[in-house]
Structure 1
Amino acid sequence: MIVFPAIDIKGGKCVRLLKGNFENLTEYENSPFDQANTFSKIGFKNLHLVDLDGALEGKLINKNTIQGITKINGIKIQVGGGVRSLEQIDELIKLGVDKVILGTKAIEDPSFLKKACIKFDNKIVVAIDVRNGFIALSGWKRQTDILATDFIKKVNNLNISRIIYTDIDRDGTKFGPNIDATVAFSKHSKFPIVVSGGISSIEDVKILKNENAKKIEGVIVGKAIYDKNININELAKII
């Protein structure tokens, strides 16, 4: 089980959103770099970074912050937020990013996703954000009629590194992950699944760890860490 502490960056600060709503934003004291350094010292080897400014602007905004975090020894980071071109993917990888997350662009343009997977071997992560089984795009503002299970079946032949499956209605709520929906989705995917949305306790993580046989590779934990609902030292022991 890989545990990915989450760092969302906006305006150079470490923040968290509730259900992806930019109007319901909480700022935290530590800078993104300091927070990443803290996670590293505790023993985490993987981080999940989202450039929220980039997601809004459609281009990489917090480049210097991301590059600084890549310099922390022993840390691998996956980064998303507004990645819309092969050039942007290349730029992130050259900064030292381990994997690049594609969301809206990958869903809307499967040919682009195919090109990215061919050019950047095993570096591409696809984020699938789901509300009631259907994919939402553009920072969750735009609901589609695309079933997540239908989409994954169409891309199962590509060289995708992993899938991040987010249940939007659980994100930032700390109500616990939607385990049944996640496991059901994983049965349609040939790729490892990283679960995001609603993690509220160590017990949630342990339950997901026991689902490993169903392709669940890891879990992203955000708000529950920052609000101290989860002891990060205990969380690090689960890795």
Structure 2
Amino acid sequence: MILYPAIDLKDGQAVRLLRGEMEKATVFNDDPAAQARAFAEAGCEWIHLVDLNGAFAGTPVNAAPVEAILASVKVPCQLGGGIRDMATIENWLKRGLARVILGTVAVENPDLVREAARAFPGQVAVGIDARKGRVATRGWAEETEVMATDLARSFEDAGVAAIIYTDIDRDGAMQGPNIPATEALARAVSIPVIASGGVSRMDDLIALRDTGVIAGAISGRALYDGAIDLAEALKALAG
């Protein structure tokens, strides 16, 4: 199981939100590129990036810090937030992103996801963010009636590289991930599922790994707070 340290970008800084609420942002580093280097030096295989402002605006906002990160590390990075058309997808991949994450458009324009996955094999993931099983879009500000599992299944034949599943109520709350829901989703589809939201201690990572079906886990606040030591976690997961 791959551990993805997270850098969430708001107004050019690395922050963490509580349950997706922008007004409840804690700044952890005003130099996101330095944070990315620290993660890379600890030995991570991937870095997970989110343009929080972009998720609300519907277009990239934190392009400068993302570009600084890409210039600073050789570790592959994936990015979500505000990526809602083919031109933006192409632009980010040309700039060196290893993978784009499509969230809102997966609900509103699923044909774009399919087109992008065909055009860029292995470089397109779907972000599914849910409250109580129902998908939320536009920076989690809008709830839909679409169920997370149904949305995931709809992309089974699309060729997407991964599904990043976030339980919004757990995100940033340090209360542990929703392992049953994540495992159920991973068992419902053949697409690799990456867990996000609530990973707060080493035991959470071990529990996700031990399901045997979850391909990765994203952690942010726990790494910044020191609740999880990245180097130790990577070593334990590798073992």
TM-score range, shorter chain: over 0.9
Instruction: Quote the offset at 1:156 in angstroms.
Output: 0.7
CA contact (8 A) 1:128 1:166 kept: yes
CA contact (8 A) 1:54 1:62 kept: yes
Structure-2 residue corresponding to 1:185 = 185
CA contact (8 A) 2:58 2:138 kept: no
Q: Which moved more, 1:76-85 or 1:149-158?
A: 149-158
CA contact (8 A) 1:45 1:74 kept: no
Structure-1 residue corresponding to 2:159 = 159
- For 1:170 and 1:84, how far apart are their aligned partners in 2? 25
**1:141-185 Cα distance to aligned partner (Å, 9 max, x none):** 111111111122222110100000111111111111111111111
- For 2:148 and 2:230, how far apart are their aligned partners in 1? 31
Aligned pairs (5 A) from 1:38-187: 38-187=38-187
- For 1:29 and 1:85, how far apart are their aligned partners in 2? 30
Q: TM-score, normalised by structure 2?
A: 0.95
CA contact (8 A) 1:126 1:164 kept: yes
Aligned pairs (5 A) from 1:190-229: 190-212=190-212, 214=213, 216-229=214-227
Q: How many residues align?
A: 237
**1:25-52 Cα distance to aligned partner (Å, 9 max, x none):** 1011351100000011111120000111
Instruction: Quote the offset at 1:211 in angstroms.
Output: 1.7
Structure-1 residue corresponding to 2:20 = 20
Identical positions, percent: 40
- For 2:156 and 2:45, how far apart are their aligned partners in 1? 27
- For 2:202 and 2:175, how far apart are their aligned partners in 1? 13
Q: TM-score, normalised by structure 1?
A: 0.95
- For 2:50 and 2:19, how far apart are their aligned partners in 1? 14
Any gaps of 5 or more consecutive residues in structure 1? Answer: none
- For 2:182 and 2:157, how far apart are their aligned partners in 1? 20
- For 1:204 and 1:100, how far apart are their aligned partners in 2? 26
- For 1:94 and 1:194, how far apart are their aligned partners in 2? 24
CA contact (8 A) 2:33 2:69 kept: yes
- For 1:29 and 1:101, how far apart are their aligned partners in 2? 23
Task: Indicate the SS of the match to 1:230.
Answer: coil
Instruction: Quote the offset at 1:71 in angstroms.
Output: 2.5
CA RMSD of aligned residues (A): 1.2
Structure-1 residue corresponding to 2:2 = 2
Structure-2 residue corresponding to 1:230 = 228
Counterpart of 1:20, as a letter, is G
CA contact (8 A) 1:128 1:164 kept: yes
CA contact (8 A) 1:3 1:220 kept: yes
Instruction: Quote the offset at 1:236 in angstroms.
Output: 2.5
Task: Indicate the SS of the match to 1:61.
Answer: coil
CA contact (8 A) 1:194 1:218 kept: yes
Any gaps of 5 or more consecutive residues in structure 2? Answer: none
Counterpart of 2:167, as a letter, is D
Q: Which moved more, 1:32-41 or 1:49-58?
A: 49-58
